[in-house]
A = this chain, B = another copy of it.
């Protein structure tokens, strides 16, 4: 890219003002975290075909690239502070940059988080974001705190993003309005940042559901050295997904991925506090199981019968 083209890119990403001591334009940005707070840091890289489809509108790609990173802060209960963006672009495309930056900054503004560092280069499309947040010492939600007897919760609904992906793949057909609804779930996930912070001191463990509930819950169980029983029929799902065959519902809710909801653990006597956190954050929370001392994850239906869920063998859509 020529120098003038980099100026063009800068135009879409440099904004006046902000909370940072020093924003974009020097060798480093300077940020003053609240003294005594711990920093929470996470990074995610998005590549076309793997993390998003070529059909996504630039606006929603900008939104999602930041959303998946904020979701990691949410899972730790951290308050977002700032983020950096590295962007490789095959060519300078003003329509793309306008939409991408618009979606990115709309979500950034909604969470009062500032872009403090950036790098742009010519290359195959690649979006890498690093987010910084802060959390009081000892209050971060880790994956390692679940204890036998604790209750297992999820936020929002699960599975719509995967249902949308299967529509794009042609393995499921939905009427137009239903398709638009699940497509929004896939392209415009809402990171549960407020819920994560509200769960500080309530939840004993948390993760965000990015790779699918079974996998992400599995990380909590492994790090906490516990097991769990999970009630598949209790998993919250949209009215659209609830009209699909049971096998599709189970695939999408248990192993769908791209949900960006929180799966979290709380002491059994904290149900009222969890519900209050959900109300404060404006998102539904649903109890879907219980932590057990016995290792392993037991997925059961409403009658208590086991639901097969081998991560490899269970993939309904795999060809």
Contacts and interface: CB of A to CB of B under 8 A. Distances in A.
Contacts of A75: 27-28
- By DSSP majority rule, is chain A's interface helix, strand, loop, or mixed? strand
A268 interface: no
Contact of A35 (B36, B45, B85, B119): B36
A73 interface: yes
Contact of A33 (B33, B45, B76, B120): B33
Nearest to A138: B21
Contacts of A207: 27
B140 A43 contact: no
B31 A41 contact: yes
Contacts of A21: 38, 137
A47 to B, nearest CB: 4
A33 B231 CA distance: 42
Contacts of A85: 43
A39 B223 CA distance: 30
B223 A25 contact: yes
Interface string A129-155: 010110101001011100000000000
A84 interface: yes
Contacts of A120: 45
A311 B126 CA distance: 29
Nearest to A210: B27
Contacts of A56: none
A85 B40 CA distance: 15
A318 interface: no
Contact of A38 (B30, B41, B50): B30
A284 interface: no
A128 B28 contact: no
Contacts of A50: 121-123
Contact of A135 (B30, B36, B116, B118): B30
A92 interface: no
Given A41-B132, A126-B126, 15 more contacts: A22-B140, A25-B143, A26-B76, A28-B40, A28-B41, A28-B42, A30-B135, A31-B38, A43-B130, A45-B121, A45-B126, A47-B88, A47-B123, A124-B126, A130-B130
9 contacts: A25-B223, A26-B223, A27-B143, A28-B140, A32-B39, A33-B33, A44-B119, A45-B86, A119-B128
